Structure 1
Amino acid sequence: MAFEDLLSRFGDWTDDVRGRLNSNFDIAPYTWFRVGGPAQLFFNPADEADLAYFLKHLPSDIPVTVIGLGSNMLVRDGGVEGVVIRLSGKAFTSIEVEDDLTVSVGAAMPDMRFATQIAKQGIAGFSFYKGIPGAIGGALRMNAGAHGAETKDRLIAARAVDRAGVIHDLTPDDLGHGYRTCAAPADYIFTKAIYRGEAGDPEALKVEMGEVSAYREDNQPTKERTGGSTFKNPDGKSAWRLVDEAGFRGFELGGAQVSAKHTNFLINTGDATAQDIERLGEMVRGKVREMTGISLHWEIKRIGSFEDDVQIVPFLDS
C-alpha cells in the first residue's frame, strides 16, 4: 500500500533538516525478519541536534516509531503510519573512553561490535553483549541481557530526545530498568549510553566473547531470518521449554516456522508474511495458555498496521 506523502504537508522547515527523508520507504530490508509494509516517512537524522530539530518541528499529530537495527521487531504488512526513525552513521555509533573506564557509546552502535571494540581496549564487563543481536538504543529500552548480566549492571547515564525535541540527560533511576523493561517515557529516543567498565586483559576477553558467540551459534538459529527471542520468560519458567512442551518445535504456518533449534525463535523460511509470523506466535501463546495456564508475552515488538481486511486478535492484551 502507499501512504499520503507527508513531506507535501510540512512546509519549508524541512529544508533545514540535514538527514535523509524518504516517503513510502520500504523498511523490510532493515529488519531481521525481512517482512512488512513501508514507512509513510523514513528519517535518518544526521546527529542528535538534527533529530531534536526535526521532532521539535514535526506536527504533534504525526506518530513516530523508532526501529534501531530491527532485530527484535516485526513490521506488519500494512506498513507504518507516520514517521519511522532509524539512527545510523558516525554521530550515533562513536565510542569514547575516559581514563576512569567510563565509556560513552552512540545508540546505533551494534551490541556485538561494541563488545568487540571495547574488549580490544582492555575494558571488561561487556562480553554479554556479544550474544545480543541489537543496538545500544534497543539495549537501553529493553534492558537487554544474557549470560547472567544486564544492561543496567554497567549503565551510569544515558541521553535521549523526546517527541517535542527536548534533549534529556538521564540517570539509572530515571530509566528504572527491570527484566526486559524500562520506565523511561515511550516517546524518548535514546541517542547515547554511558557505562563504567573495569580493567581487563584483551586476550582473556577475546576468549570470553568467543565462548559467548559459540554458545549462540550452537543454540540459536543465527543464520535464519528471525527476530530474536519471541517471548519473555515467565517467572521461574523458560519460554522455549513451554513452547516445546506444547508441541511446536519445527511447526510451520504459511512461510513462518517455530525454530527446530530453539523454540523461542520464530523464522521466516523465505516467503513468510508478517501475518504468518504473528498468527503463528498467537497460536503458540494460545496453546501454551490452554495447556499450562501460563501467559507468554511478546518480547518482539510488533509495529504498524495489518493489511486491509486482515486482523489478528490476540488472546491476551500484550
Structure 2
Amino acid sequence: MIFPDLLPQFADWIGDVRGKLIANHPLAKVSWFRVGGPAQLYFEPADEADLVHFLKNLPAGIRVLTIGLGSNLLIRDGGVDGVVIKLPAKAFGQVEVLTDNRISVGAGLPDVKLATAAANAGIDGMEFYRGIPGAIGGALYMNAGCYGTETHQRVVCLRGVTREGDVIELSNADMDYRYRKSNGPKGVIFTSATFEGLPGDRDEILTKMRDITDRRESTQPTNTRTGGSTFKNPDGHSAWKLIDEAGCRGLRIGDAQVSEMHTNFLINLDAATAHDIELLGETVRNKVREKHGIDLSWEIRRIGHFEPGKEVRQFLDGDVFAGAH
C-alpha cells in the first residue's frame, strides 16, 4: 500500500526539523519479524527539542505511533497511516550513572545496554534487562520484565513529550503499572528515565547476566525472525505450556511457525507475511481455548492495516474465526 505524501502539507514548518523524515518508509526493515507495510511518514528526531518542535506543529488530526527496536511488534502488511516515530539510539541512548544506585538513560537505549552499564557501575537488580530484546522506551510502556523482576520495580521517574509537544516529568506512581502494561498519560513519547537498583559487585552481576544469556539461548529461538514472547501468561498458568498441551508446537501457516524450541514464540521461517503470523497466533488462541477454556491475550503489539481481503478476524471478539484447524 502506498499512502498520500504528508510532507507537502507541512511546508511552512517542516524545514526546521533536523531529524530524518521519509514518506512511505518500509517498516519491515525495523521489525524483528521482517514483515509489514510502510509508514505513511517515518520520523527519527535529532533530539528531544526536535521531537518537541515536530509534535507542536503536527496537525492534531494526524495519528502518531512510536516504535522501539521492533522486537515485540507485528506490523501488518497494509502499513501504518499517519506518523511513525522511532527514537534513534544515537540521539536517545545516553547513560548517566547517578548517586544512590541510580542510573539515568535515554529511551532509545537497548535494554541490554542498561543492564551492562548498571553492572559496570556496581548497581545490582538491573541484570534482568539482559533478557529483554527491546529498547527502554518499550520497557517503560509495557512494564517489561523477566526472571521475576519487572520495570515497575526499578523505574523511579520518567521524562516524555506529549502529543501536543509539551515536555512532562512522571513518577512511577503516575504510570499505574500492571502486568505487561502501563496506564499513564496517553500519547506520551518517553525520552528518558531514571532507574534505581541495589549496591552490588560488578563481577557477580556480570556472572548473573551471562547466566541469563545462556538460559535464553538454550530455551528460546533467539537467532530467528521472531517477536519475542507472543502471549501474556494467564493468571496461574504459563502460556507456553498451555500452547504446547493444545498441540501447537511446530504448527505452521505459510512460513509462520510456532517455535519448536519455545511454544510462546512465533517465527518467520523465511517468507512469512504479517497475515501468516497473525493468523497463526489467532489459531493458537483458538486451540488453547478449545483445549483449556482459557483466553490468551497478545503480548506482542500489533499495529497498522490489513491488506484488503486478508483480514484476520479475532475469534475472541465475537467474529467468525478464519484460522487453520
TM range (shorter): over 0.9
Q: Distance in 1 between matches of 2:144 and 2:241?
A: 21
The aligned counterpart of 2:66 is 66
Q: Is the 8 A contact 1:78 1:304 kept in 2?
A: yes
2:41 aligns with: 41
Q: For the residues of structure 2 that align with 1:89 and 1:224, how far apart are their CA atoms?
A: 23
Give the letter aligned to residue 144 of structure 1: A
CA displacement, residues 157-203 of structure 1 (integer Å, 9 cap, x when unaligned): 00111111111100011001111010113311111111112221111
Matched, 1:303 2:281: no
- Give the aligned partner of residue 220 of structure 1: 220
Q: Give a deviation string over 1:191-239, Cα, whole Å, max 9, x none.
A: 1111112221111111010001111001100011000000000000000
Identify the residue that residue 259 of structure 2 maps to in structure 1: 259
Partner of 2:158: 158
Question: How many residues are matched?
Answer: 318
Q: What is the CA-CA distance between 1:49 and the residue it aligns to?
A: 1.3
1: CA distance, partners of 2:237 / 2:10: 49
| Partner secondary structure for residue 42 of structure 1 | strand
Q: Equivalent residue for 1:241?
A: 241
2:244 counterpart SS class? helix
Maintained 8 Å contact 1:75/1:304: yes
Query: Hey, what does 2:271 align to over in structure 1?
Result: 271
What pairs up with 1:189-228 in 2 under 5 angstroms? 189-228=189-228
Show the counterpart of 1:282: 282
**Residue 21 of structure 1, CA deviation:** 0.4
1:172 corresponding residue in structure 2: 172
Alignment partner, residue 116 of structure 1: 116
Deviation at 1:134, TM superposition (A): 0.6
Alpha-carbon separation, structure 2, partners of 1:249 and 1:102: 42
Separation in 2, partners of 1:180, 1:138: 11
Query: Which deviates more, 276-285 or 5-14?
Result: 5-14
Moved more, 305-314 or 269-278: 305-314
Task: Provide the rounded CA distance (Å) in 2 between the counterparts of 1:103 and 1:227.
Answer: 28
- Cα deviation, 1:261-298, whole Å, max 9, x if unaligned, reads 00000000000000000000001101111221100000
Distance 2:309 2:87 in 1: 33
Deviation of 1:102 after TM superposition, in Å, equals 1.9
Deviations 1:65-116 (Å, cap 9, x if unpaired)? 1110000000000011010000014331001111222211000100012101
- Show the counterpart of 1:103: 103
1:9 aligned partner: 9
Whether 1:55 and 2:46 are equivalent positions in the alignment is no
1:157–1:169 CA contact under 8 A, matched in 2: yes
Q: Give, in whole Å, the separation in 1 of the partners of 2:184 and 2:316.
A: 24
Instruction: For residue 316 of structure 1, give the secondary structure of its aligned residue in structure 2.
Output: helix
Question: How big is the shift at 1:10?
Answer: 1.5
Contact 1:27 1:37 (8 Å CA) reproduced: yes
Give the aligned partner of residue 323 of structure 2: none
* Separation in structure 1 between the aligned mates of residue 149 and residue 9 of structure 2, nearest angstrom: 46
Question: Which runs of 5 or more structure 2 residues have no equivalent in the other structure?
Answer: 319-325
1:82 alignment partner, SS class: strand
Tell whether the 8 Å contact from 1:46 to 1:89 is kept in structure 2 after alignment.
no
- RMSD of equivalent CA atoms: 1.1
User: What SS does the aligned partner of 1:115 have?
Assistant: helix
Q: Distance in 2 between matches of 1:317 and 1:52?
A: 38
Shift, 1:242, TM fit: 0.7
The alignment's TM-score, normalised by the length of structure 1, stands at 0.98
Aligned equivalents of 2:31, 2:56: Cα separation in 1: 27
Amino acid at match of 2:256: A
Partners in 2 of 1:89 and 1:220 — Cα distance? Answer: 26
What SS is found at the alignment partner of 1:207?
helix
Q: Which runs of 5+ in 1 are unaligned?
A: none
Q: Which amino acid aligns with 2:211?
A: E
Aligned residue in 1 for 2:19: 19
